Structure 1
């Protein structure tokens, strides 16, 4: 079994996480490897990972050349995983290692994907809970692929699923949707995420917004279609406005309409800017893909694969 762990400035959590994951894996009597992917940390995380790889042959570490983001860090670990089953999880202990035996049991029962579903998070504030709830409602409303509300990047996937996943090489990744729509036999397990063991979340509001936008644009063209339909409706009302103006002029009732003019100009101008932005977002993603650059590149690879 391979356990893939993306980390970014997690020097306070690494050793505790390693201890708990090792204990959980050894309880199920499987050969294993723990793959840490350092996503351009600026603290002592790489040094701690180097020490762990020297102490334990089960540990491997990939040090990315810069910060590529959480989803690409996961991808790097999955690309290099050698296990018959691969578990991805975060290194802040909010994905409980004690659940690993439960994931493996479901896999042994014949499931190819075992997804965990977060019912609640102990340290989540009202804003995060509310935005998460409505984000999943919006995402499922516009996406042909159903994304389980509360789904996390804590999951187990079979080697067959991994081989299929490796064929997906888009840069702007939303792995929850990719795995959710990949097929195979899937099931889920619920959990309550505990507080972080130490440190603060690196998932800022800006990163959260970018991640949310990736999820919508990666799986739906509906924003583009909405732009088209709203444009059609706006055009229809513009024609009605023109007919109204011509009628008033013909009847000699034309009066200075500064307010009406400003409302119409501001409304249509605002809509045009919004939809140009939507179109630009998709064009920007096309631009990134056609360059065909690698998803990530490494600064160092530590440890050895023990099969």
Structure 2
């Protein structure tokens, strides 16, 4: 039995569970979320708190959160100065969560609170990470289901850090996993990849993903596309390598074709090639060069963001939390 498992089994007090909930314009969902999840947590043999991260909401989300905090001190708030994005909001939650185990979940209740009992039981059995895997995506459009499936397949083929298919951000992590995530310094963050990169013993819980009960999704296809680019460029350099191989292939083809043209000229004399084929070749090679520059630019832009070393997020206020957040390298 590992030391971590012994500590979980022999603890004199119930363990503390911290739940991180990123919020962006979720005023309509907050009350329903709290009324739904609080009874589930009260029935569990744990101490608990919920760290809401207000990601620069422009509606009354912060006001609703402050009302929750005043009614129940277990509702804690990290208020960001502007909208930094969900990845930064999750990072802020991880920096301020103080539980023995930490869960990341959405406020729309598409992450069923009923799974928390199974997650905590698996944590008590010694697993440091418990991920929730969707067995169906019937609430998503056909395009989103196909694109998500293809993204997982492509990512897992080109990255050494494998993301389980149909696993989102809903997961339980032991405090030592959270400490490992806090130690990762990158600014351009793809959290699913970071969760997979740190490793640790992992268990999987399957569930049927329900429809969103309150509010609307904040992700559109353009944001999802950019999210996928961040994931691929953060965890693989294969696109750059592929472009090197493609350039070498084109160079070899061009050399062979040049040898053929020289041979034909020596043997058959000079002929005048057509302008159409010449224009097609020039446009094709020019397009390839621009695409190659674009791929290099994606990586260069991320290097630029990292070298500036700006904070991942800024807090405008903390409610129920210590003013000193976890230090980042």
Q: TM-score range by the shorter chain?
A: over 0.9
| Aligned counterpart, 1:225 | 241
Q: Report whether the alignment pairs 1:293 with 2:310.
A: yes
Deviations along 1:230-255, one digit per CA (max 9) or x if unpaired, are 01001111112222332333322522
Contact 2:103 2:173 in 1 (8 A): yes
Segments of 5+ residues of structure 1 without an aligned counterpart are none
Q: Residue 78 of structure 1: SS of its match in structure 2? A: helix
Which position in structure 2 is the counterpart of 1:276? 293
Matching of residues 226-241 of structure 1 within 5 Å: 226-241=242-257
Matching of residues 10-159 of structure 1 within 5 Å: 10-159=26-175
- Cross-structure match for 1:177: 193
SS in 2 for 1:264: helix
Deviations 1:156-195 (A, max 9, x none): 0001111111101211111111111212111111112111
Per the TM alignment, residue 217 of structure 1 is displaced from its structure 2 partner at its CA by 0.8
Deviation readout 1:112-167 (Å, 9 max, x if unpaired): 00011122234211000010111111111111111111111000000111111110
The Cα shift of 1:303 comes to: 2.8
Decide whether the 8 Å contact of 2:177 with 2:200 is kept in 1. yes
Aligned mates of 1:85, 1:31 — CA distance in 2 = 11
User: Alpha-carbon deviations, 1:44-68, whole Å to 9, x = none?
Assistant: 1111001001100101011111111
3-state SS of 1:32 partner: strand
SS where residue 286 of structure 1 aligns?
A: helix
The number of residue pairs the alignment matches comes to: 305
Secondary structure in 1 matching 2:184: coil
- Of residues 175, 179, 182, the one that matches 1:163 is 179
CA RMSD between the two structures: 1.2
Q: Do 2:20 and 2:93's aligned partners in 1 also have CA atoms closer than 8 Å?
A: yes
For residues 23 and 207 of structure 1, what CA distance do their matches in structure 2 show?
A: 35
Q: 1:4 aligns with which of 20, 36, 50?
A: 20
**Structure 2 partner of 1:191:** 207
Alpha-carbon distance between aligned partners in 2 of 1:16 and 1:178, rounded to the nearest angstrom = 31
How far apart, in 2, do the equivalents of 1:135 and 1:72 lie?
A: 21
Whole-Å separation in 1 of the counterparts to 2:147 and 2:191:
19
- Whether the 8 Å contact between 2:95 and 2:182 is mirrored in structure 1 is yes
Give the SS at the match of 1:193. Answer: coil
Structure-1 separation of matches of 2:123 and 2:68: 28
